[in-house]
């Protein structure tokens, strides 16, 4: 399946921001969307946390020292950045803007703080989607099933989850991820529909003028 929209009018790319509490499914949903849509790419964030087993620098994240991260903040190199779970995460501005100008779409797997910052800086390019778990017990079971974190870390993530969920009303769309396939279909419909927003086609006015003049 391809997300490429065949059109005589070039389209500016969009930023698809997908947020959720840890364990609610945003990473699984975004990975599948990217796998099925070649023009869609994942924004690779910088982080100060250490790599987890199986992670590769430049693939899952750009792993940087706290000192280098601070330098990038001072240079205003980030489109967004935040402190999350005792570490820092940030999205470099330059590669994202280059992708949008080339008509490619970028997915952001980030929290509400990052979503708010990106919206403040580039509202017209942003689509905000929040993923909710069906219940907090279900979220706990998912975190425990991942077997990536200690019991103490899981409790901290659950405490933070209620704080994160409170920001659902800052998002354009909200999906309850009770059944993965249904949640994915909803996300796919949002992505496909947003590609056709009028303002994402900067050449549309000239195309319509030519069309009406019988030249297109």
Span 120-129, mean pLDDT? 96
15-57 pLDDT per residue, tens: 999 999 988 989 899 999 999 999 999 999 999 999 999 999 9
Inside any domain, residue 60 = yes
Inside any domain, residue 28 = yes
Kindly tell me if the per-residue pLDDT of 148 is higher than 80.
no
Residue 54 has a CB neighbour count (10 Å cut-off) of 7
Q: Give the DSSP letter of residue 172.
A: S
202-216 pLDDT per residue, tens: 999 999 999 999 876
pLDDT band for 167, please (50, 70, 90 cuts): very high
66-85 pLDDT per residue, tens: 999 999 999 999 999 988 77
Number of domains forming the structure of the chain = 1
Inside any domain, residue 153 = yes
Inside any domain, residue 7 = no
Domain harbouring 160, CATH code: 3.40.50.300
**Residue span of the structural domain in which 60 resides:** 15-212
Q: Structure pTM? A: 0.84
Inside any domain, residue 103 = yes
Residues in the chain: 216
Inside any domain, residue 37 = yes
Kindly tell me if the per-residue pLDDT of 1 is higher than 80.
no
Dist CA 154 CA 152 (whole Å): 5
pLDDT of 3: 45
Q: In the chain, how many H helices and how many E strands?
A: 8, 9
Kindly tell me if the per-residue pLDDT of 2 is higher than 60.
no
Inside any domain, residue 168 = yes
Inside any domain, residue 27 = yes
């Amino acid at each position: 399946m391809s997300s490429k929209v065949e059109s005589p009018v070039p389209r500016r790319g969009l930023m698809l921001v997908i947020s959720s509490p840890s364990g609610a499914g945003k990473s699984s949903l975004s990975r599948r969307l990217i796998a099925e849509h070649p023009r869609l790419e994942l924004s690779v964030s910088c982080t100060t946390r250490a790599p987890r087993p199986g992670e590769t620098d430049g693939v899952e994240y750009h792993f940087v020292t706290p000192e280098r991260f601070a330098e990038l903040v001072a240079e205003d190199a980030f489109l967004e950045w935040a402190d999350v779970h005792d570490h820092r995460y940030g999205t470099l501005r330059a590669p994202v803007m280059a992708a949008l100008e080339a008509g490619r779409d970028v997915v952001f797997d980030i929290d509400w703080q990052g979503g708010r910052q990106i919206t403040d800086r580039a509202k017209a390019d942003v689509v905000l989607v929040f993923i909710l778990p069906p219940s907090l017990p279900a979220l706990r079971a998912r975190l425990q099933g991942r077997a990536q974190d200690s019991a103490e870390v899981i409790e901290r993530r659950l405490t933070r989850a209620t704080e994160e969920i409170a920001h659902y009303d800052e998002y354009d769309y909200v999906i309850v991820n009770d059944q993965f396939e249904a949640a994915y279909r909803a996300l796919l419909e949002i992505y496909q529909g947003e590609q056709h927003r009028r303002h994402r086609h900067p050449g549309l006015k000239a195309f319509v003028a030519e069309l009406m003049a019988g030249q297109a």
